[in-house]
Every structure is written in C-alpha cells, then in structure tokens.
Amino acid sequence: MNIDFWPKNPKPNFQNAEMNITSAQLTVTNHQHKNKPNSNPIYPELVEGIKANKVPFFVMALLVLFAVSCSKRPANTVSGANEKAESNQQASDTNVQSPNNSQDPNIQKPARPAPIRGGVRPEHKHPAFTERIKERARMVASQIKARDVNDPNVLKAMQTVPRHAFVQHPNKNIWSSNLERAYADHPLPIGFDQTISQPYIVAFMTEAMELRPDYKVLEIGTGSGYQAAVCAEIAQEVYTIEIVEPLAKRSEKLLKELGYKNVFVKAGDGFFGWPEKAPFDAIIGTAAAERIPEPLIEQLKQDGRMIIPYEDSLGFQHLVMITRDEKGELQKKNVMPVRFVPMTGEVQKKQR
C-alpha cells in the first residue's frame, strides 16, 4: 500500500535533492564497496521511491544528512591522516640526512686534520703495543691526568707508548724488577748511572713544549728512548743525542724495533746540539746542567720553546722554560722543582 503524505498543493521541486542524494548515495556506495566493483547499489528501494516522489519529506531529509555525513567523513579522515603522515615524514626528514645532501657543495663538511709534511709516522706493529694496556690506562688516569696534564695528544701518546719496553737494564735481576714496576709513579734505573724518568715528568715536559704534528724536536739525553718515543707520537721528527755510546746504540736499536722511524739517534755530546738539523721548533733536555748550553739557544727556532733542568749554585734543580719571541729575545721561567741526573761533557767545563 502506498501512502502519500504530500499535501495537495504543488509539490516542491526535489530534482536537485534527488541529484544530491543520488550523488551522495553513490559516493557512500563506492566508498563501502570500493573493493567490490560488481556490487549493486545500496538501498535500491529508497532510490526508486525518491525518484517516484513516494518517500516522506522528513525521511528524505534524514537520508540527505546521513549520505552527506558518510560521504564527507571518510574523505576528511583519510585526508587528515595523509596530512599528518606527510607532516610526520617532513619532520622526520629534517633529522635524517639525505644521501644526496652529502654531495651538496653548500653543506659544510667536518674539517680534516692537516697532513703532515713528509716524513713517516711511528708504526705500532710490535707486540709490546698490545701488552699491558690497562696498566697504561691507569697510569694516565691516576698519575698524569689527575695532575692536570690535559693535552689530548700527550695523553694519547702516554697511553700508546709501551713503557715496559724501555726499562731494560744490564743486570737481569734489576731488569726483571723494572718490568714489574714499569708503570709505577717513580723513575727506574736503566744502567750506566742513568734512569728512565717518572711518567708524570715525561708527560709534563712534553705538554710544556706544545708540540704540533709538523714540529722538529731536539732531545738532549736519549737515555732509555722513552721520552723520544712519546715526542715522536706527536711531532714529525725527533733528533736525540746520548753521550753514553752503549746506551745510545741500545736505545737506537730498540726504537727501530718498535717502529719509530721518525726518531734519529746520535751518540755525542748534547751540549753542541745538532746544528745540521737546526733550527728546532722545540728542545727538551733530560739531564741537569749548571748553565744552559749556548748552542742550544742558537738552534732554537723563533717562537720556539725549550724546557731543560737547571741546577743552581746551591744544588737545587728546576725545570726552566725558555722561549724566543718574534724579536728574537729570550724569556726564561722556572717551572717546577725536579731532580735529574747531571749533564756531562762540555757543560761541566768551567767558563773562562
């Protein structure tokens, strides 16, 4: 039975409404059945009733609202999700460098360390470099860094150089004792009335020279070769002189075995320096003298630094820092009290 609720006056034109309903209904149909292309439209009876003007007005209005709501909500939801995803992706992209960005010439790249001019670097292939690493780490932490030696190059050098390889002694019993105490906080005897310096003093004097990778260093008093090896880890070349010839030969052999190809050893009197290789960026002395050898001052480069033990007339020793400024004038400063073996040779002769 068909019931007509429309009044007898002329009926309103629902052509546009019918078109909107049909369009909205098709939108809902396509959304709900997008994975079913062969499905029939939903509510076919309602659609036919609308076309025949047999559906009450309020029902038709509800259908319009329902269809419009269904047709817009999923679209807005999907669109919002897409916008959110795109926003998240853009935010994520700001934290992730694109592979193509590495080729952009406008992007600043990390600075590379300056290449060292010529020469060779120490090799660390000898087994000694992989031995007693933890002991060296404790030595650096408790004896050196704890006493305010903070130059990272110095700390790395002290961590790298195997100190236990430099404690040789002609007496096997003393040598064996030295091996046990190689990383202790004091000097050790190495024969020929010489010692290997306390680790802290080695690090302190190395830091005081402010070494750079292109520096040429002169050492007076090779001794065990340990100080030369530490300097060679930082500087380009190290020239070292030892007045005790057997000790010079022993240290030269050891340094070569350990791969220090940038260390050059000469047996001779350190008082005269090494004029053939002068001038030097830094000079270090490891034996105390009652006067600063004049040839060493002459071989110090402008803006160079020299640190050497000096013994006064009362027998007290101090580390003395000597610098040459741009005008060639010397500046001397007592740094710290120390105790070194005496420098021998020409320096012991009385000045006329």
Task: Work out the angle at residue 248's Cα, subtended by the Cα atoms of residues 313 and 170, and round it to the nearest 5 degrees.
Answer: 95
Does residue 25 lie in a domain region?
yes
Asked, for residue 101, whether it belongs to a domain, the answer is no
Q: What CA–CA distance (Å, rounded) separates 298 from 275? A: 9
| Same-domain check for residues 281 and 339 | yes
* 197 is an active site residue: yes
Q: Are residues 54 and 191 in the same domain?
A: no
Asked if residues 200 and 144 have their Cβ atoms less than 8 Å apart, the reply is: yes
Residue 325: its pLDDT value, please? 80
Last residue of a domain, one of 48, 82, 116: 82
226 and 341 share one domain:
yes
Query: 49 with 55: CB under 8 angstroms?
Result: yes
Q: In this structure, are 78 and 133 located in the same domain? A: no
- Spatial CA neighbour of 56 closest among 96, 3, 10: 3
Same-domain pairing of 193 and 318 = yes
- Do 157 and 38 lie in a common domain? no
Q: Are 56 and 193 contained in the same domain?
A: no
pLDDT score recorded for residue 179: 98
Please indicate, yes or no, whether residues 238 and 319 belong to a single structural domain of this protein.
yes
Q: Is residue 108 part of a domain?
A: no
Q: Decide if 317 is inside a domain.
A: yes
Q: What is the pTM of this model?
A: 0.67
Domain final residue, candidates 82, 117, 136:
82
Tell me if 19 is assigned to some domain: yes
Range of the domain at 278: 127-348
Averaged pLDDT, groups of 10, the chain, 352 residues long: 43 43 42 46 53 58 62 46 45 37 41 49 96 98 97 98 98 97 98 96 97 98 98 98 98 98 97 97 94 94 94 92 86 93 88 59
pLDDT for the residue 119: 64
Distance from C-alpha of 187 to C-alpha of 181, rounded to nearest angstrom: 10
Res 58: pLDDT: 58
Residue 5 lies in a domain: no
Instruction: Judge contact between 224 and 252, C-beta under 8 A.
Output: no
The answer as to whether 116 is a domain residue is no
Q: Do 203 and 73 sit in the same domain of this protein?
A: no
Catalytic residue selected from 197, 224, 251, 313: 197
Name the domain count of the chain.
2
Is residue 102 assigned to a domain? no
